[in-house]
Structure 1
Amino acid sequence: MKTFLLCFVLPLVAGKNLLPFRRTSAPRFPRSHGTIGARGTKRGTVDLSDYHDLLYIANVTVGSSTYPVQLDSGSSDLVIFSTVSGATTSSLTVNITYGTGYAYGSISNASVAFGGLTVSQQALLASTSFSDPVTSLGAEGILGLGTHVSMSIPRFPIAGEAGVVVSFTTQFAQTPTEPNFITFALTRSEDATALDQGGFTIGVIDPAYTNVQSTNAISTWPVSNPDRWSILLDAYELSNGTVPVSSSVTNVPSGKAVLLLDTGTSYMYAPSAMVTAVYGNIKGAQFDSSAAQWNVPYLVVQSLSDSTKCVGSIVPQDLAAGGGEFDILAGDVFLRNVYTVFDFGDFASQSNLTMGNPYVKLLSTTNITAASLEFDKLRVHCLPYFKRTNDPHTGTTLPKSGPHQFLGSCT
């Protein structure tokens, strides 16, 4: 079983441009459920939007309307934060809880079109009672892209018909001659005001990242029927060497940790000891116990005198405490440094439609030397901008001189 070694390079800035993003700002925490798919034969590329590197959005047509939704590999249901025009509504209700909120409402059936795929009768949650930060950041729903195992929306009858919960696993099983994967290329903006670029594909490898096909497949954990896109971590590597890991998750092999790959989470969450090892040797870095976060000098690779700080985007949190399902949550701050393939499993043959176990492929998109030089250049360039403009998180004016924090990603 192939596992994974995680390398930390601080600071990290890199990424190739694919498709336009609109960027949004709010930290995301682990969601509790994960998948939605579609039925059809045409697959391809989907335009994404992103704002401040913290939320990735694509348009999905549900019923007779189009909604901007967050693409979330850490959950497994389609949720729209409103009633859906053209949908058939059942008397059944469901409550889906997330790490940062919830969505409650009636289960509905509607046609769904996304990325060239169309489902004529997709079960979804049309929520009229909800609380989630993404609603204030441009998203009108959440499209779960996880495995089918952890779906929250049950199958149900409407007008004598069997309701259909269609996952990507179901979709791929109906078109066995086509590839069974989705991909993400999440990148970052090259300056404080520019639109970011990136892409999401279904069954297609972006030409810029074809080398991912020669990388080893990384098994999920568990290997069969995982309810999340979790993999096993062998160790993590810092500038001063490789650090072993252990897990608080039940039945995980010795010397491994469980790492969840989640596009619906902005930051990275890891055990306190691991985060201290990452930031503790950076000159000038300090842990703010009141906010439970590390503050890192803004110009960490510069020999300039400036008191501006970045909030470290690797956050200490013991996720597996109390019987959790993973030790490390690798959100967008990590995923922007790799091209990610989520494969739902290969078929044994065209005549044998038994789908194999799902797996992940990762291709590094970060050149360490180039990243350091780019960080140096961009932080010097952006510093005057942050001193004279509003804080993008709070809307308050930053002081033109003196110490302050830019509440953003340092990786």
Structure 2
Amino acid sequence: MRSSFLVPFSLLVLLDGISATRLALQGRASPELPALLRRGMLSGQVTSLNDSGNINHYANISLNGKTYETAIDTGSSDLFVTSAVPNATDEHYNATISYASGGATGEVKAATLEFAGFEIPDQFYIEAQNISSGFAGTGGLIGLGPSQGSVVRLEGNSSAADTPLDRIFRQNTSTPNYLSVLLGRSDDPDDPYPGDLTIGEPLQNYTDILKQPRLNVTVSSVNEFQHWQTLLDKNGIIGPDGKAIPITSQVNHSIDPSRATVIFDTGFTLPQVPGYVAKAIYGGVNGSYLYNISGIGEIWILPCNEEVNATFLFAGVQYPIHPLDLNFGKGELTGVVPNGAEMCVGAFQPFSFDPRINDEVIYDMILGMAFLRNAYLLVDLGDFIDGSNSTTAAPYIQLLSVTNATEASQEFAQQRQNGTSAGDLNASDALETDSSSLITTHTVTKSTIKMAAWVIAVIVAAVVVAFLLLGICCFCICRKRGKRSKGAATSAWPAAVPVWSAAPPSYRSLQDPLAAPQAHDEMHKNPNSAPAVYAPEQQYNTVWDRHV
């Protein structure tokens, strides 16, 4: 969870069940968290990405036998708890983790950690005396990111201060050095935010992930800002028009400047992409426009029933994104969508990246939950584990697509369009609005005019067809009567045809969206400071399409 910001939605994890290597994840809403955070919070000296927003996911861990419900995050690397651990050992130094709207500060101590079936003695952690409001009411957070980003390890300057994940793999040498994450969707109101996290083995029904291309984890030019990151293919996003979006990397010292550096982070719900990429995805959508939120920045707003399609490419493999993960519901995003507007939010949000450390740009995109719902993620730590020798393989990432594009389109139509697809409609207009104006009504766009003309044309055609059918019926009746009359030379055509009259049908705009689904907030760490298994082919009914 390093770095952070934006129309934030969180992704941290509740332990639903536990086995030796697998955590079944479940989320729940937290009403205490703020709707939005300044995007500018990515600037400064925050070292970790952290998302503690409206949707919180937790896992139960224990320290010296005391249970803590802690947030789980692949974007940060440290463990902290919010209350005292019994009989803990004081390590005699303090540590601070900086977050977008606060952080966690406290004494570093050691205790026996139990996590995901593993027991790690003398695990270093922060016993936080001061925490940000986003973590109020929680037990803390356990980070599963690269150890290079660990503040506890940096300040402790000893392998004894290694991260929980490093300690697990160093202590259990027969366990493969990887973790995997699958985020999903559910119709179960008691478990609307499912997911799975494994350590050392893949999920049973998704073992094909081990056959997928290995994507090298790229090394950050700033060591403490290392993430689980790799390179997207060159121009590796196919937009709604079926064409590749031209992409230019801003990352300094990239091994391939023609390819974007992307971070995979469960802590981000809404992926963050360059503004021109977001425009290529949403700018041509009927009725879409940029909405500028004072102090936050611009976000894309669009009708809830507009299908949007995009596909990402890694090592030549396509990863289609479900339309419901591209078009998020308004829900409880108060202050995001203008009051009274039945509109939704473009999930892949524009961001002007300026996370510079010593003039270094360290990544181009952050792919969070809206992407990870569509790709099962496996990260092999390789020689990123502290103490690894020269024979240890380099770290890599594997992705397995879990979304069928055709089925996804049908599911979107069922959820948002009453079974009728409107994904092929394109608009030439995109309305840009300024933060100084609060939009409560919208100007009629070309697409609306086109639809009104289309409705009129259908009505006219129906009247013409009715006249023709009436004429044919009259002709047939008269002909039949003529045949029954002896000596009749010809059939009689009716002298007059009754005029067709009917009240015009009531007009209901084709743009009327369904009830907007619930969306959620998130808070992320700024990067610049010091599934129970479920089948992807099941009915796609996300939490965004239902109030919880």
User: TM (normalized to structure 2)?
Assistant: 0.57
Report deviation, 1:122: 0.4
- Pick the aligned partner of 1:300 from 306, 330, 335: 306
CA distance in structure 2 between the partners assigned to 1:57 and 1:367 by the alignment: 29
- Pick the aligned partner of 2:194 from 192, 197, 210: 197
Question: Where in structure 2 are the equivalents of 1:369-388 lying within 5 Å?
Answer: 369-379=406-416
- Pick the aligned partner of 2:48 from 15, 23, 33: 33
Q: Secondary structure at the match of 1:109?
A: strand
Q: Deviations over 1:195-219 (max 9, x none)?
A: 3322111111112211111101110
CA contact (8 A) 1:267 1:331 kept: yes
Aligned to 2:232: 233
Q: Deviations over 1:50-89 (max 9, x none)?
A: 997x433211112232112221111110111233233223
Name which of structure 1's ranges 312-321 and 224-233 shifts more when overlaid on structure 2. Answer: 224-233
**Residues 1:316 and 2:350 are matched in the alignment:** yes
CA distance in structure 1 between the partners assigned to 2:520 and 2:247 by the alignment: 36
Aligned to 2:108: 107
Q: Secondary structure at the match of 2:123?
A: strand
Percent identical among aligned pairs is 28
CA distance in structure 1 between the partners assigned to 2:93 and 2:114 by the alignment: 24
CA contact (8 A) 1:34 1:150 kept: no
CA distance in structure 2 between the partners assigned to 1:110 and 1:19 by the alignment: 25
Report deviation, 1:293: 0.9
CA distance in structure 2 between the partners assigned to 1:153 and 1:346 by the alignment: 20
Aligned to 2:205: 208
Which sections of structure 1, spanning at least 5 residues, go unmatched? 1-17, 36-49, 394-407
Q: Secondary structure at the match of 2:406?
A: helix
Aligned to 1:151: 150
**Residues 1:180 and 2:217 are matched in the alignment:** no
Aligned to 1:262: 265
Q: Secondary structure at the match of 1:57?
A: strand
Aligned to 2:217: 220
**Residues 1:338 and 2:375 are matched in the alignment:** yes
CA distance in structure 2 between the partners assigned to 1:86 and 1:378 by the alignment: 53
Aligned to 2:426: none
- Alignment CA distance shift 1:271-1:61 (3 Å): same
Report deviation, 1:374: 1.6
More helix by share: 2
CA distance in structure 1 between the partners assigned to 2:519 and 2:378 by the alignment: 34
Aligned to 1:117: 118
Aligned to 1:60: 61
- Alignment CA distance shift 1:319-1:83 (3 Å): farther
Aligned to 2:281: 278
CA RMSD in angstroms comes to 3.6
CA distance in structure 2 between the partners assigned to 1:51 and 1:232 by the alignment: 28
CA distance in structure 1 between the partners assigned to 2:194 and 2:285 by the alignment: 30
CA contact (8 A) 2:113 2:119 kept: yes
- Alignment CA distance shift 1:374-1:165 (3 Å): same
CA distance in structure 1 between the partners assigned to 2:152 and 2:364 by the alignment: 26
**Residues 1:24 and 2:32 are matched in the alignment:** no
What one-letter code is carried by the residue in structure 1 that aligns with 2:381? Answer: F
Question: Where in structure 2 are the equivalents of 1:358-397 lying within 5 Å?
Answer: 358-379=395-416
CA contact (8 A) 1:93 1:104 kept: yes
Aligned to 2:490: none
Q: Deviations over 1:330-387 (max 9, x none)?
A: 111211111010111179xxxx884221111011111111112222223468x77659
CA distance in structure 1 between the partners assigned to 2:85 and 2:266 by the alignment: 25
CA contact (8 A) 2:120 2:167 kept: no
Report deviation, 1:152: 0.4
- Alignment CA distance shift 1:373-1:194 (3 Å): farther
What one-letter code is carried by the residue in structure 1 that aligns with 2:29? Answer: T
Q: Deviations over 1:189-241 (max 9, x none)?
A: 34777533221111111122111111011101128988210111122111321
- Alignment CA distance shift 1:195-1:283 (3 Å): same
- Pick the aligned partner of 2:162 from 153, 165, 179: 165
- Alignment CA distance shift 1:386-1:277 (3 Å): closer
More strand by share: 1
Report deviation, 1:114: 0.5
CA contact (8 A) 1:310 1:409 kept: no
Q: Secondary structure at the match of 1:173?
A: helix
User: TM (normalized to structure 1)?
Assistant: 0.75
CA contact (8 A) 2:240 2:281 kept: no
CA distance in structure 1 between the partners assigned to 2:408 and 2:251 by the alignment: 34
Q: Deviations over 1:6-62 (max 9, x none)?
A: xxxxxxxxxxxx945133366798772389xxxxxxxxxxxxxx997x433211112
CA contact (8 A) 1:263 1:332 kept: yes
Q: Secondary structure at the match of 2:409?
A: helix
CA contact (8 A) 1:155 1:162 kept: no
Which sections of structure 2, spanning at least 5 residues, go unmatched? 1-22, 309-339, 419-512, 522-542
CA distance in structure 2 between the partners assigned to 1:110 and 1:174 by the alignment: 16
CA distance in structure 2 between the partners assigned to 1:409 and 1:275 by the alignment: 20
Aligned to 2:250: 248
CA contact (8 A) 2:49 2:267 kept: no
CA distance in structure 2 between the partners assigned to 1:281 and 1:156 by the alignment: 49
CA distance in structure 2 between the partners assigned to 1:378 and 1:206 by the alignment: 28
What one-letter code is carried by the residue in structure 2 that aligns with 1:125? Answer: I
Report deviation, 1:258: 1.1
Q: Deviations over 1:87-119 (max 9, x none)?
A: 223331111112343111110111110111111
Name which of structure 1's ranges 86-95 and 270-279 shifts more when overlaid on structure 2. Answer: 86-95
